[in-house]
Amino acid sequence: MSDQAEDKSSAAIVFGGSRGIGAAIAHQLADDGFAVALTYLANADQAAAVRDTILRSGGRAIAVQADSRDPWAVREAIDAVARELGPLDVSVINAGALRLAPIASFPLEDFDLLVDVNIRGVFLTMQASIPALRNGGRLITIGSNTAIRSSSPQGAVYAMTKAAIVKLVEGLALELAPRRITVNNVQPGPIETDLTAGMAAALAERIPLRRIGKPAEIAALVSFLASSDAGFITGASLTIDGGFVL
């Protein structure tokens, strides 16, 4: 958290916060006392539900439509935080896309989509967040444990995009260190979301802890990284996957 950790105007933005891991992060940061902006691409109703739940709990929240591939939309979302919630202390980049296929038959349009969302979109969101974050703030990306080991013969392209985030995080951590802004990457394994519906039992058999993770567990790690207790952690990629990559 920033130098203004106890300031009630502290604000956070969660890119891709309308469902799954992103929604859990938005709820957790609101519980931590942040005013929260969450972005969505198309799920306006789901984003409104997350926002309204935070509001009913006494928090402050807004939902903003923004495609992370659009630099103008990303900047507008960042500007909305300052305009409606206050100075930005935490930026969480969760928006992403998943496509699976062997490299030999991987559709070019799917390759372009993954690079556009998972690399270019993260870059644009980082770039827009940098001038808005207060000194001592936090920038947190949500990557994937596939950056360490691609366990699927169909997952190489997806894994490539998540590995790229590791290097972006390391470079930006060095760049922002003089401002005491930490930059870290959370790498989840299989998590209970709509993407894993119907696969939990099969996935659990491959995980040493014999279960898949919960969105709240990812949110708890993000909460820690956003706190003052994590002020000496930067440039790290933290894997949270029940031992899947061991």
Q: CA separation (Å) from 67 to 56, 81, 104, 123, 124?
A: 27, 16, 29, 13, 11
Q: How does pLDDT run across 32-79, given as a tens digit for each residue?
A: 999 999 999 999 999 999 999 999 999 999 999 999 999 999 999 999
| 94 domain residue, yes or no | yes
Active site residue 158: yes
How confident is residue 1, by pLDDT bands cut at 50, 70 and 90? very low
Contact between 181 and 226 under an 8 Å Cβ cutoff? The reply is: no
Coil, helix or strand for 164? helix
Contact between 68 and 124 under an 8 Å Cβ cutoff? The reply is: yes
| 224 domain residue, yes or no | yes
| 99 domain residue, yes or no | yes
| 129 domain residue, yes or no | yes
Task: Compute the radius of gyration of the chain from its Cα atoms.
Answer: 17
For residue 83, the domain's CATH number is 3.40.50.720
Number of folded domains that form the chain: 1
| 132 domain residue, yes or no | yes
User: How many other β-carbons are positioned within 10 Å of the β-carbon of residue 232?
Assistant: 6
Contact between 212 and 204 under an 8 Å Cβ cutoff? The reply is: yes
Phi, psi torsion values for 61, nearest 5 degrees: -160, 150
| 1 domain residue, yes or no | no
| 109 domain residue, yes or no | yes
Contact between 33 and 8 under an 8 Å Cβ cutoff? The reply is: yes
Separation of alpha carbons 185 and 204, rounded Å: 24
How confident is residue 199, by pLDDT bands cut at 50, 70 and 90? confident
| 3 domain residue, yes or no | no
Q: Checking DSSP bridges between strand 35-40 and strand 61-65, what pairing results, if any?
A: parallel
Q: What is the DSSP letter of 42?
A: S
Q: Which two tokens stand for residue 144?
A: 């994937």
Q: How many CA atoms lie within 13 A of 245 on its CB side?
A: 16
Q: How does pLDDT run across 148-180, given as a tens digit for each residue?
A: 988 788 999 999 999 999 999 999 999 999 999
Among 144, 134, 164, 132, which Cα is nearest to 226's? 134
- Cα dihedral across residues 67, 69, 75, 81: positive or negative: positive
Predicted pLDDT at 7: 56
Residue with tokens 């770039």: 127
DSSP string, 31-64: HTT-EEEEEESS-HHHHHHHHHHHHHTT--EEEE
Q: What angle do CA 112, 95, 172 make, to 5 degrees?
A: 90
User: How many other β-carbons are positioned within 10 Å of the β-carbon of residue 92?
Assistant: 30
* 123-145: average pLDDT: 98
How confident is residue 130, by pLDDT bands cut at 50, 70 and 90? very high
Catalytic residue among 114, 158, 161, 218: 158
Among 143, 235, 129, which Cα is nearest to 186's? 143
Q: Which two tokens stand for residue 8?
A: 């009630």
Residue span of the structural domain in which 188 resides = 11-240
